[in-house]
Every structure is written in C-alpha cells, then in structure tokens.
Homo-oligomer: A and B are copies of this chain.
Amino acid sequence: MNFSIAEENYIKAIWRLQQADSNVTTNELSAELQTKPASVTDMLKRLKEKKILNYEPYYGVKLNADGKKIALGIIRRHRLWEYFLVEKLKFEWDAVHVIAEELEHVSSPELVERLDHFLGFPKADPHGDPIPDSSGRMETSKHISLHQLKEQQPAIVSGVNDQSSGLPEILRQKKISIGTKVEIKQRFLFDGSIEIKIRNQPLITLSEQLAKNIYVTPL
C-alpha cells in the first residue's frame, strides 16, 4: 500500500504519541500536527479504511501491527537522513530535523538500504535516538530525561530532544555531548534548576527546560 505525505505525517505522529500514551486522542493529534481536530477526524476515518489503525469515534486511536511497521519505516528513513546530514554534510544537530522531515517521504526502498550501507549501518541518529533496522526492529533504549534523574545517581547522556532548536549551541558551551557522564548534585525546587557534576569539572547549573531536553541512561 502507498501513503501520501500527509498520511505518513499522521502515522508518524500517532506512533510518537502512543509511545507515551497507548491510546491517542484527536486533540493530542491536532496539537502535534498543528491542524484542527475536525481535520484529524477526517484523516483517521481515511486511515481506518486502509486498515492500519484501530479507531472508534470518541475513543481515540491506536496503530495496529501493520501501522506500526509503516511508522517504523518512516522513522528509519528520518533518522538515517539525520545521520547523513550531520555526519556527511556537517550540519548542526538542530538544523537537521526540518530537512529530514522532507527527505523521509522519499519512498524508494532501495535508496534507504543503500543509504544505510553507505553510512555504515549506524545504530542511532545524532540525537541518540535508535534507528530501526529494515524489518523495523530497534534497540529500546530506556533513557529518561535528565530532569527525572535521581540525585547522586550517575548516568550517561544518551540523547537530546530531536525537535528543539538551539540545543547544540548551549550544549557545546557547557561541554555536554552524547556519552558524557553526569550526576545531579543538587536540585532547586524554586525554579526546577539542577546542579550537575561532569568529570572533574566544577559544578554547572542547568535550567529545568534544558534538563528536560537532555536524555540520560542511569548506570
């Protein structure tokens, strides 16, 4: 079966939301996709006809097995292109998301497999998100946001938020990158900011907003 760009964007958005929530609502989708709820209802009816999701009026939506496979194909393309843009074309992290949103819709399966081979079968994109293999399998990294990390619990930075722009600049300045070992030394309830220790460096302060956009794997 073949999907339009609009359909692929809905499938991707449903997949993303159902990771957190299992059952995805019309309103959540309309916020995610910057469209009106009425447009979402229309599209869900169309995608239901294509038998890639379970949708009951008023009760939300969920991708079925076929739908998940399609979603993982789109995510695979997106992340491979992000890797290409950063590793080969030397883009900054925060510039690649928008471009990869376009490239991910180029549908040739042979292109994807050759690109994967050309890139050396990378396991994760530049933000640390795992790249599904050609049959849709993917390492389920159980990372949490740095903001959720317990105090005194050492962890490794494993990713950053894909969608937020301006992150690379601040992370470069603070000398944080994927693989960096971090530990929360103190937490301020007043504004949600944290103080963290990196190697032997002096303590540094991160805002709540920043900590929420950095992902870590506890050790």
- So how many copies of this chain end up in the complex? 2
B89 touches A118 (CB 8 A): yes
B107 touches A91 (CB 8 A): no
**Closest chain B CB from A149 CB (angstroms):** 35
Which residue of the partner chain B has the closest CB to A111? B99
A114 touches B89 (CB 8 A): yes
- Give the size category of A's interface with B: 10 to 19
Name A95's contact: one of B90, B102, B103, B110 (CB within 8 Å): B110
Q: Is A115 an interface residue (CB 8 A)?
A: yes
Name A98's contact: one of B88, B108, B117 (CB within 8 Å): B108
Q: Is A106 an interface residue (CB 8 A)?
A: yes
Interface string of A143-178 (1 = CB under 8 A from B): 000000000000000000000000000000000000
